[in-house]
Amino acid sequence: MMLQKNVWLACVASVWFVVGPAVSGVTDAAAGRLETVSAPRPTDNDDVLATLPSYSVVINATGLGKDAPGSPLTDDAVFPPNSIAWDLNYRGDLIFLEQARKQQEERSVRVEDGWIYFIHGWTQVISEVFHIDIPASGPEFDQLANIAAAARA
Asked if 5 and 28 touch (Cβ cutoff 8 Å), the reply is: no
- CA 20/CA 22 separation, integer angstroms: 6
Q: Percent helix, strand, coil in the chain (nearest 5)?
A: 40, 10, 50
Identify the pLDDT of residue 80.
95
Q: What CATH number belongs to 5-113?
A: 3.40.50
Asked if 116 and 92 touch (Cβ cutoff 8 Å), the reply is: no
Reported as a pLDDT band with limits 50, 70 and 90, residue 10 is low
Asked if 116 and 145 touch (Cβ cutoff 8 Å), the reply is: yes
pTM of full prediction above 0.75: no
Q: Which range has the worst mean pLDDT, 20-24, 27-31, 41-45, 148-152?
A: 20-24
Identify the pLDDT of residue 2.
38
Dump pLDDT digits (tens) for 45-78.
Answer: 899 899 888 998 898 888 877 778 889 999 999 9
Domain ranges of the chain: 5-113, 115-153
